[in-house]
A and B are shown apart, each in its own frame.
Chain A
Amino acid sequence: MRYALRRLPVLVVTLWAAITLNFVLPRMMPGTPADAALGKIAGQGPVTASQRRAIEVMLGVPHGSLLSQYWQYLKAIAEGNFGISYTYFPEPVSKVIGAALPWTLALVGTSTVLAFTTGALLGVLAAWRRGSRLDSVATVGCTFMTAFPYFWTALLLLYALGFVLGWFPIRGGYSSSVSPGWDWTFAASALRHSVLPAFTILISGLGGWLLGMRNNMMGVLGEDYVTFAEANGLPARTVALRYAARNAVLPSATAFGMALGMVVGGSLLTEVVFGYPGIGYLLYNAVVNEDYPLMQALFLVITVSVLLANFVVDLLYGFLDPRVRR
């Protein structure tokens, strides 16, 4: 637990930096995003004074000193008051994001964990049987797979499995004929709709983990403790998993935390292609419609989520490696 507590300040400072970056960005940009946003929203309908105030606090209209603006901004964030959305007028931004977040968490979370575990396992296997057919097919195949842009893989899958073969729905998070709720028809529909996006994230991410894990394994296999385990006549499985892979996974775990940002980015693009009702598609819509309040809040939510996920991975690392505990 001491380990977790020691990590906490880093998390707090990083969170602060991310929040501040979000404050600085729109204020640094040419023009006044707040005015632009207000102007657009005004075209949709009446804007109350408090709504106007919220948007100004978030995106910056020079009322008072920068310091007091910053204070207002921090207060607004603490209250979760991000202003109102233009695209989904007159919904407040927080509500729009709240509706989209579960979709993304379920889709990206599951498929990323799945990609990491299968990739790592295959990487162990490829390294253990280095030089075999499996090894060369896996490494070459993965080199190409990781080079495919997420959105392109998504497009191809959509075309082949969705459009041509018709196995899976090609758009959305659930069928328009069912209404969201905790029932089987909805769950089945949501599951069917998530297969293609999940599969995209899986095969796009898997290659990187496989290659990384294979590289780590190759390094670890040369270590004395692996040779010694072999010299002690331990079963090949024990040597491969408990001695080699167990250590090879450590750098991969570190990389997992750091690559999360990239994975999330890729997943966002996947959502866009499939019109999946998650954060990514929302961000895309916000950008296309120049819905700055929504965009800014989304960026904040994404960044904070990734930071928190990173923190969790960091804590898990403490369990994986006894040398960093205490």
Chain B
Amino acid sequence: MWRTGRKLVGTLWADRKARAGASILALFVLVAVLAPVLSPYSPTATSFARSAPASWSHPLGTTGSGQDALSQLLFGTRVSLLVGFGAGLAATSLAMLVGVVAGYVRGPLEVVLGFLTNLFLVIPGVPLMIVLAAYLPSRGVGTVLVVVSVTGWAWGARVLRAQTTTLASREFVAAARMAGEGTWRIVWHEIVPNMVSLLAASFFAASTAAVLAEAALEFLGLGNPATISWGTMLFWAENSNALLTGQWALLVAPGLCIALLASAMSLVNFGIDAIGNPKLRER
């Protein structure tokens, strides 16, 4: 598993798009970690003039409640990355569990899991998310993370399930059975290591979706409006009619960051796609 993982990273780095994506991603991580150092002010300080236009002291202006927008943007990276990677990880883990089990076992469990996957696949995610978030009384980042994970695992499960079924029918799995390997060992040591690139792909796909979903929830005001995140920045900007007052930076900056982060993840995924499907490789 370690070996295939390392090979994956090597092949990824050789792909131009994936390299660009990974670089952007690394930059965001760096910003998230160094936010306190990079930010000129505290993101929650409300001591500045309200709705001030961009200036040297406030490159992106200030919000309607007098906070420095740049500082908010920098700190907001943390929430987006946290929800993105966190929900990506949670959704992929769930997808792997459901997908691999449904792909390998036979019988009623397979049918039930398969049906659940298909159900969650066709149930529209955003409305479900909205409804879930509306019913839940506490609306912190944790809630958003859970809601986004619960609605985002099905696609990965479906792909992983198909791949597991394919791998399980390969002769090396039959050979491993005949070599006396148990079911659990076959799943984890024979099948899963062959799906590393697929797992990585579903992780990045789920993370991309999570970043966008988190922004959407916050934008609708279904998160905690007191959190500092790109989504809440958009929420407040929209609420204070920032566009109409000419403070377009308040809307454009967080939106661009979301788009850039999501694109970076998609770019990495292009590289992973190319590994699984050599026909897509760049020449």
Contacts and interface: CB of A to CB of B under 8 A. Distances in A.
| Direct interface between A and B, CB < 8 A | yes
A258 B122 contact: yes
Contact of B119 (A14, A265, A283): A14
B132 interface: yes
B6 interface: no
B215 interface: yes
A120 interface: no
A58 interface: no
Interface stretch (A25-33, A61-69, A94-102): A25-33
A151 interface: yes
Nearest to B234: A152
Given A143-B266, A269-B126, A155 B243 contact: yes
A231 interface: no
A43 interface: no
A306 to B, nearest CB: 5
B126 A266 contact: yes
Contacts of A257: 122
Contacts of A228: none
Interface stretch (A74-82, A174-182, A297-305): A297-305
A296 B127 CA distance: 10
B35 to A, nearest CB: 22
B137 A30 contact: yes
A149 B270 contact: no
Nearest to A30: B137
B280 interface: yes
A65 to B, nearest CB: 23
Contacts of B135: 25-26, 29, 33
Interface stretch (A45-53, A111-119, A284-292, A318-326): A284-292
Contact of A295 (B126, B131, B221): B131
Contact of A215 (B219, B255, B263, B277): B277
A152 B258 contact: yes
Contacts of A151: 216, 219, 234
B91 to A, nearest CB: 14
A149 B277 contact: no
B259 A299 contact: no
B17 to A, nearest CB: 8
Interface string B184-204: 000000000000000000000
A279 B273 CA distance: 36
Interface residues of B, number: 52
A146 B126 contact: no
A312 B69 CA distance: 47
Interface in B250-281: 251-252, 255, 258-263, 266-267, 270, 273, 277, 279-280
Contacts of B155: 258
B136 interface: yes
Given A33-B135, A148-B259, A218-B280, A156 B126 contact: no
A144 interface: yes
Given A144-B263, A265-B124, A287 B220 contact: yes
B87 to A, nearest CB: 15
Given A158-B243, A287-B134, A147 B122 contact: no
B259 A156 contact: no
Contacts of A155: 234, 238, 243, 251, 255
Query: Taking each of A25, A30, A287, A307, which has the highest tally of chain B beta carbons within 10 Å of its own beta carbon?
Result: A287
Given A156-B251, A268-B126, A302-B124, 8 more contacts: A18-B119, A147-B260, A152-B258, A163-B243, A261-B125, A265-B216, A287-B220, A310-B122
21 contacts: A13-B115, A14-B118, A14-B119, A25-B132, A26-B135, A144-B259, A147-B208, A147-B261, A148-B255, A148-B259, A149-B219, A150-B216, A152-B215, A155-B243, A258-B121, A258-B122, A261-B123, A261-B125, A265-B124, A269-B126, A269-B220
Interface of A: 13-14, 17-18, 21, 25-26, 29-31, 33, 131, 143-144, 146-152, 155-156, 158-159, 163, 215, 218-219, 221-222, 257-258, 260-262, 264-266, 268-269, 272, 283-284, 287-288, 290, 292, 295-296, 298-299, 302-303, 306-307, 310
